[in-house]
């Protein structure tokens, strides 16, 4: 189920409860709604509800049986695109998809291969995306131009995961180090022209 916590008072309130699993809640850019994944129907889908708990739970988009465990991850600055991680039966691995809210919501695979890719996070300027991939044999952090991809760059020199951009987009923070899972925090300056 999905709950909200009011940090000042320390109160907890249920936002979405159902017999199905609800996972990976993500605030919309304006903070008014929460988007999440659920298997409420015969297959996985994305749903949303007003953050204050009013109004119904609305289905945003449903996926066919080739998509499971989709996790909303990151919004474009204008709130029109949502990048997410999902397990693809087609590739037998985790991939990255892109959901567009222009008109009727629709989605497409963004980064899809036999290697595991995930944890996408869009830069504050909306022109780059960081993500993790195991294509080298260990999980590492990469960046690519967004949303058209290209100009791919490896950021981590060793293991890396769970990247987060600084608010100005000039530093990328991620977990790294030799332990499993990585337990050291690394900060890498990003020198592209934002």
Q: What is the pLDDT of residues 139-175, one digit of tens each?
A: 999 999 999 999 999 999 888 999 999 999 999 999 9
- Tokens representing 168 are 């100005």
Please determine, for residue 194, whether its predicted confidence score (pLDDT) is greater than 60: no
Q: How confident is the model at residue 183 (pLDDT cuts 50, 70, 90)?
A: confident
Largest Cα separation within the chain, whole Å, is: 48
Q: What is the pLDDT of residues 71-130, one digit of tens each?
A: 999 999 999 999 999 999 999 999 999 999 988 999 999 999 999 999 999 999 999 999
What pLDDT, on a 0 to 100 scale, did the predictor assign at position 193?
63
The answer to whether the peptide bond before residue 147 is cis (omega within 30 degrees of 0) is: yes
In 3D, which of 132, 136, 151, 143 has the Cα closest to residue 169?
143
What pLDDT, on a 0 to 100 scale, did the predictor assign at position 42?
80
- How far is Cα 71 from Cα 24, in angstroms, rounded to an integer? 5
Q: Tell me the average pLDDT across 39-63.
A: 93
What pLDDT, on a 0 to 100 scale, did the predictor assign at position 178?
72
Predicted TM-score of the model (pTM): 0.92
């Amino acid at each position: 189920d999905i709950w909200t916590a009011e940090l000042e008072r320390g109160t907890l309130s249920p936002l979405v409860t159902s017999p199905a699993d609800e996972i990976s809640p993500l605030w919309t850019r304006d903070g008014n709604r929460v988007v999440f994944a659920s298997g409420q129907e015969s297959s996985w889908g994305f749903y949303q509800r007003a953050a204050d708990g009013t109004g119904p739970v609305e289905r945003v988009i449903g996926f066919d049986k080739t998509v499971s465990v989709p996790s909303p991850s990151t919004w474009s600055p204008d709130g029109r695109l949502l990048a997410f991680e999902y397990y693809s039966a087609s590739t037998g691995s985790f991939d990255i998809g892109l959901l567009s809210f222009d008109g009727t919501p629709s989605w497409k695979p963004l980064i899809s291969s036999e290697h595991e890719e995930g944890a996408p996070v869009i830069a504050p300027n909306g022109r780059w995306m960081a993500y993790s991939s195991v294509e080298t044999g260990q999980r590492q952090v990469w960046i690519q131009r967004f949303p058209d991809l290209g100009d791919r760059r490896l950021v981590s020199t060793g293991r890396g995961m769970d990247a987060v951009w600084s608010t100005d987009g000039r530093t990328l923070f991620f977990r790294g180090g030799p332990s499993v899972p990585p337990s050291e925090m690394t900060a890498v300056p990003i020198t592209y022209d934002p």
